Chain A
Amino acid sequence: MTAASAEQRDEPIVSVRDLQVRFQTSDRRATVKAVDGVNFDVRRGETFGIIGESGSGKTTIGRALVFLLNPSAGAILHDGIDPMALSRREFQNHRRDYQIIFQDPNAALNPRMTILASVLEPLELAGVGSRIERERQAREALERVGLPQEFGERYPHQLSGGQKQRVVIARALTLKPKLIVCDEVVAALDMSIRGDVLNLFADLQRDLGLTYVFITHDLAVVSHISERVAVMYLGQFVELGPTEEVAERPLHPYTIALLSAEPRPLPSSMRQESRIVLQGEVPSPIDPPAGCRFRTRCPHAQPLCTERVPEWRELKPDHWVACHFADRPNYLPNVPERTP
């Protein structure tokens, strides 16, 4: 099957089925279940957000999506095809369509290479066109991300953080990808320029028809940019749905707590009346709690939550959740008083 026919049939650009990624700890004694059974599709042209706390497995999913690491189990299909089944050469060509950008632009840019040389590099590695053609494409990419021509001759240390992140975006764009995984791409940027870079992502998506998987721990960023959002906890999705739904009518107790914990720059007259402060911290992914993984911190946990793993179900159209009690209106019995 070719990619073109997949597009015509409106196949998801990425399908993830029962994805598991495990790592050996450095002493090789234990296994970290970094991603443990995740299912989702990314639709063509959308921005799919993934939020979750540190260590929940977001980066690992992102790396697996672009085959920077191999799943331990499960499948990832690109346009309906399994890239693992391609020949080596086909695979190298294929993966240009799926790029990833990380948080730290300094780590992505060689300090001894000019900006233009950095942007040219992926084109050279891929052996695209003639030298002149490659340079034209690289300059075009720099222009696309709003950097003036003369920046090509500069070195990374002569650029600000936001400008460096633009270079990294330009670099990813040269290969004309279909999908870009953006892992915490604005986290290292100062607040006054964060908006600029987010606007740039939106412009590029509109002009080039890009699909994004937008990974962040920042709720404000994810709800600004994504059409749909998945909430991750300890290697699993606990909720997935349209951003407005998840942000305004969340179904999972963890999502509710996360939204409530987000500090909001609002005057006191507009602050929410009470907030849910979760106890404790995220347990280790080496030995996650049996049953529902959130039960050790969940204010509504019941005996059933220890006994059975909650099913991943579509409770409302397009809105998925993994909680035994999410379908009961006011399922929350008395919220216990917090011990001082």
Chain B
Amino acid sequence: MAAGPPAQRRTEVARDGAQPLLSVRGLGIRFKTTQGIWQATRRIDFDIAPGERVGIVGESGCGKTITGLSILRLLPGNFAGLDGKILFDGTDLASCSARQMRAIRGKRIAMIFQEPMSALDPVFTVGHQIAETLRVHTDVSYEEARAKTLEMLRRVGIASPERRIDDYPHQLSGGMRQRVMIAASLICGPQLLIADEPTTALDVTVQAQILELLRDISETSKTALMLITHDLGVVAETCTRMITMYAGEVIEDATVDEALVRPLHPYTSGLLRSLPHLSPRHGRLPSIPGRVPSIAEMPAGCRFRARCAHAAEGCEAEQKLQDAGGGRKVRCWRFAELNLPGALHPPETPTAAKVATQ
């Protein structure tokens, strides 16, 4: 029953030298609104190596979802423009033809969402929907598609798939629907799976099943995973690397262990410290004062400045995502002189240790 220790599973994918599968450079997205053009995200840079599991974290509205959607060019109708490059295995998805995009979307890059019900068509059986994805992208017979669908349903942990394959989405529970979504997304054997809050709508015991499934699939089929979530625990359980976003920008990029133990950006550190898991029971929770600035009133210079306890002269300058050594990146010019606490900040260590060993 017990799965293997997550500690051992978090094998670091060799990043040095490996050609990235996805390479996002200077990505920015604009929307038309009644108040004019809004720059929702800007200067997004990151890479994902083949088979790597990367978590994209940040608070509501920081740009996680639209970053995921822009990779597949699935942006909403009031989309007003995109800057930068999205290189996927040599093709720039930001500028390739619609035809090239269709050949990639669903086949080589797949995406799953928080609410599987909205992504599944209620009038078709789940088997039909999965098989169709396969038939659109590959030249298989009806029987072959059905056989592959059955196999995939079994693989994502649906018990007696022969009985489930002809069910309609509403006949399934939330956890089963998410499994069906995962099956549909994996049926063409994608190289990259983008999962946007795939477990947020699920209960914690079902979430554990789905996260285990995603980890397993990525390990056995070498599918890279881009996992979008606001839950740092989910990233720690599932991913090898963590990219933190704030107010439309990437502010930190590090391995999960590095980011949790020794965050380099004051925002990452503040987030980790404000989590109730790690603070002594009944004590006061440290919190980050203020709120995320809205797009309409984005400050110049460091976007975290108004809330940052370490703001100093120099922070009003634009901050670049800079190399912090060892493959880490951070958007804060003071990172080297700040010695920021992480999830295991000394005063909290006893409680944290207790949590871990219980």
Contact = CB atoms under 8 A, between A and B. Distances in A.
Given A248-B358, A281-B203, A266 B352 contact: yes
A241 to B, nearest CB: 14
Interface residues of A, number: 56
Interface stretch (A126-134, A173-181, A217-225): A217-225
A289 interface: no
- Interface core residue of B237, B277, B282 (most chain A CB under 10 Å): B277
B303 to A, nearest CB: 14
A269 B257 contact: yes
Nearest to A268: B7
B275 interface: yes
Contacts of A223: 276, 281
Given A190-B60, A192-B274, A262-B233, A267 B204 contact: no
A275 B291 contact: no
Interface in A144-198: 160, 162, 190-196, 198
Contacts of B208: 260-261, 263, 275, 277-278
Contacts of A271: 5-7, 236, 356
A272 interface: yes
B105 to A, nearest CB: 30
A133 B132 CA distance: 68
Interface string B1-13: 1111111001000
Contacts of A262: 204, 233
B357 to A, nearest CB: 8
A238 to B, nearest CB: 13
Given A258-B204, A281-B173, A268 B6 contact: yes
A108 interface: no
Given A223-B281, A258-B204, A281-B175, A247 B5 contact: no
B234 A202 contact: no
Contacts of B174: 281
A299 interface: yes
Nearest to A274: B2
B317 interface: no
B205 interface: yes
B355 interface: yes
Contact of B207 (A160, A263, A266): A263
Contacts of A333: none
Contacts of B207: 261, 263
A182 B60 CA distance: 23
Question: What is the size category of the interface that chain B forms with chain A?
Answer: 35 or more
Nearest to B273: A195
B272 interface: yes
Nearest to B204: A261
A53 interface: yes
B291 A336 contact: no
B256 A196 contact: no
A181 to B, nearest CB: 20
A276 interface: yes
B343 interface: yes
A248 B354 contact: yes
B211 A263 contact: yes
A336 B2 CA distance: 9
Interface string A191-234: 11111101100100000000000000101110111000000000
> Which secondary structure dominates chain B's binding surface?
helix
A287 interface: no
B323 interface: no
Contacts of B3: 274-275, 277, 338
Contacts of A338: 1-3
B321 interface: no
B270 interface: yes
B1 A299 contact: yes
Interface in B98-127: none
- Interface core residue of A198, A219, A267, A269 (most chain B CB under 10 Å): A267
B322 to A, nearest CB: 23
A257 interface: yes
Contact of B284 (A199, A263, A281, A282): A199
Contacts of A192: 59, 270-271, 274, 287-288, 292
- Interface core residue of B4, B207, B270, B291 (most chain A CB under 10 Å): B291
Nearest to A227: B282
B287 A199 contact: yes
A190 B204 CA distance: 19
26 contacts: A190-B59, A190-B230, A192-B271, A192-B287, A193-B291, A194-B274, A194-B287, A195-B285, A195-B286, A196-B285, A224-B279, A243-B281, A260-B208, A261-B208, A263-B211, A265-B233, A265-B343, A267-B257, A267-B344, A268-B10, A271-B6, A271-B236, A271-B356, A277-B1, A281-B203, A297-B205
Interface of A: 53-54, 160, 162, 190-196, 198-199, 202, 217, 219-221, 223-225, 243-244, 247-248, 257-279, 281-282, 297, 299, 335-338
Interface of B: 1-7, 10, 59-60, 173-176, 203-209, 211-212, 230-237, 256-257, 260-261, 270-272, 274-279, 281-282, 284-288, 291-292, 343-344, 352-358
